[in-house]
Amino acid sequence: MIRYALACGAGHDFEGWFGGSDDFDVQSARGLVSCPACGSPEVRKQIMAPAVVTSKGKAETATGPSREMMLEMASQVRRHVEDNFDNVGDAFAREARAIHEGRSEERGIYGEATLREARELLEDGVPVAPLPQVPPDRQDLN
């Protein structure tokens, strides 16, 4: 369901719920959408941006999932990995391969790998995934 803010020719504001983005256009063209205040079939969509409320309680407009939310999720994943996984730094590719081949203790590890190293690991069936990037200057944004 999609909620649209609608307005009639007389300036009445109201809301309409539609099954999909095309439903309003179809129903409106058939004269099926009318103003609940005056009954006018002359109804149009109001331009509105999707809004989200951040943890600060301030409404912000956004074009997708809020940037704050994405950053928060990314930093949570990262924190979990950093707390529970072993940092092997730039030895990551070698160590991941060693664990995969049973030559090293089996554990979760993280570290740095080049794109080429990561691709080679994946090609050899070693499960690796990129860590979400958290901009280092995040604190400065507040």
Distance CA 109, CA 95 (A): 8
Output 9 or 89, the one with its CB closest to Zn ion: 9
Based on CB atoms, which residue is closest to Zn ion, 44 or 79? Answer: 44
Judged by CB under 5 A, does residue 12 bind Zn ion? yes
Figure out which of the listed residues 2, 5, 10, 26 binds Zn ion, where binding follows CB under 5 A.
Answer: 10
Residue 5 found at the interface with Zn ion (CB under 5 A) = no
- The first and second tokens of residue 90, run together, are 């730039």
Encoding tokens for residue 79? 């924190």
Q: Site size for Zn ion, by CB under 5 A?
A: 7
**Of 15-23, 28-36, 45-53, 123-131, which segment contacts Zn ion by CB under 5 A?**
28-36
Written as six digits, the tokens of 117 are: 């190293």
Q: In the 8-state DSSP scheme, what is residue 57?
A: S
Least distance CB 23 / Zn ion (angstroms): 20
Which listed residue (6, 18, 28, 35) binds Zn ion by CB under 5 A? 35
CB of 36 to Zn ion, least distance (A): 8
**Tally of CA atoms within 13 A in the half-sphere of 10 that contains its CB:** 10
Integer angstrom CA distances of residue 27 from 2, 18, 19, 30: 14, 9, 11, 5
Q: Does 8 bind Zn ion (CB under 5 A)?
A: yes
Sites for Zn ion among residues 54-113 (CB under 5 A): none
Residue 103 and residue 85: Cα distance in Å, rounded? 18
